[in-house]
Amino acid sequence: MIALTLAQIAHAVGGQLHTTEPDTDQSVVSGVVDTDSRLIEPGGIFIAKPGETTDGHLFVGAAVENGAALAIVEHVVDVPVSQIVVTDVVRALADLAREVVARVRAAGRLKIVGITGSNGKTTTKNLLARILQDEGETIAPRASFNNEVGAPLTMLRVTDATQYLVCEFGAAGPGAIAHLAGLVEPDVGVVLMVGLAHAGGFGGIEGTAKAKAELVQALRPGGIAVLNADDARVAAMASIAHERGLSVRRFGTVASADVRAEDIETDADGTRCTLIIDGARLPLRLRVLGAHHVWNAMAALTAAAALGVDPERALTRLETVELAERWRMQPLGNDRVRIINDAYNASPDSMAAALRTLAQITGPGQRTVAVLGAMSELGEYAGEEHDRIGELAVRLRIQRIVVIGSEARRMFLAAVGEGSWDDEAVFFETADEAFDYLLTELRDGDRVLVKSSNSAGLRFLGDRLGESFS
């Protein structure tokens, strides 16, 4: 974090400063800000966030042992460290992030990009960060730091030298993106797609579309909206941008796209296509598995172009990316048995895309195996969407369908009902049972997809399989 005095921080968060020594309100703090006491470094700021299972106030002492110079708390803790007492530490975290980013922006060349969408946020964030990091100091979220805690923590990593801040915005419900994006008012806002991910919290896909459009509403005056021209609901957000006097740049496969993809081909080594950018035809070889990542790459390229980055330089950097993120289309295992661990997140759209990728990258003499778990947060759509994925797996001629967990059982039943009768589809209650089965079932030439929402925990099963067949 940039250097601020204790008094400046207290003012920014609207809190009451309690210091260990008198007249220390002008002491300067500039260390790491975090809610995890284990990650605090000397001179850092510990945010004592109450949680569902524990309370951050219990770890103020541990944070001080690691060198914390300040704790932001909701009540004074009997630990020898300066403390700022606020009514809500999560709100205080957001207020501090707003203040820090505003100061850096006012003093330098900071440009901010916000990214949202039902799928692809983390991959696009990583691809864009790879493009920008060679242009200047770039801050981007760790993992999927995109909620009311993770997004401000990312913002607070900016320094006086930061040129680019890439923010990923998730949404727990209506208004969440408006709140997070409103902290920084991005210069560029990327909307990837509107799908059924987390649709249960928005009352359906139209509610999801309205929530994603909050990013366009939050862009600063003169900003640029980067929109997926292939998604009708996203493309319609151009009207919001135009009403606000914002510029619009589009990516996709339609003729109106500013960055357009043609001749998309996928194999086990990645994806190839031709990109048309400003009339020039440029080849792209993306090492990240899956044709759907071409849209994420186009989004990153369009955002980078909006920031003035030369497209050919940007393409060269994209082609160095081998893995979007751990547990996202992550190749494991060996050449004989290849495991693709994509079980960090799942929605109907990403599940379908992963299954299609599995079918596309499996060659003659090889066998497709899909290890599938539940998709969470679908609300009233959960049953029919699990049915649809089970049916799709059969229609794609996936040769072994392994479904795990009671919440995903309808996926198995739908596969059987669609025509998977000869033991192609099997069901297990637990990942341990499925692991034991797969150890004896998998054979040379198998290409195995492990896919589920984070809550199903199959990413750890994917790791175990990858290690077993390494």
> Does 451 appear as a known binding residue?
no
Q: What is the Cα–Cα distance from 188 to 246, expressed in whole angstroms?
A: 10
Count of beta carbons in the 10 Å neighbourhood of residue 379: 15
Torsion of CA 26, 30, 32, 38, to 10 degrees: -50
Count of beta carbons in the 10 Å neighbourhood of residue 35: 22
Q: What is the Cα–Cα distance from 189 to 60, expressed in whole angstroms?
A: 37
> Does 122 appear as a known binding residue?
yes
Q: What is the Cα–Cα distance from 192 to 129, expressed in whole angstroms?
A: 16
Q: What is the Cα–Cα distance from 235 to 295, expressed in whole angstroms?
A: 14
> Does 118 appear as a known binding residue?
yes
Q: What is the Cα–Cα distance from 291 to 118, expressed in whole angstroms?
A: 17
| Cα 150–chain centre separation | 11
Q: What is the Cα–Cα distance from 455 to 286, expressed in whole angstroms?
A: 29
> Does 121 appear as a known binding residue?
yes
Q: Which two tokens stand for residue 206?
A: 């139209």
> Does 457 appear as a known binding residue?
no
State the burial class of residue 133 (Cβ atoms within 10 Å of its Cβ: 0-12, 13-18, 19+): middle
Q: What is the Cα–Cα distance from 288 to 269, expressed in whole angstroms?
A: 8
Specify the pairing of strand 259-267 against strand 270-277: antiparallel
Backbone angles phi, psi at 190, to 5 degrees: -110, 125
> Does 117 appear as a known binding residue?
yes
> Does 170 appear as a known binding residue?
no
Going by the annotation, the residues of the binding site are 117-123
Q: Show binding-site residues for ATP.
A: 117-123
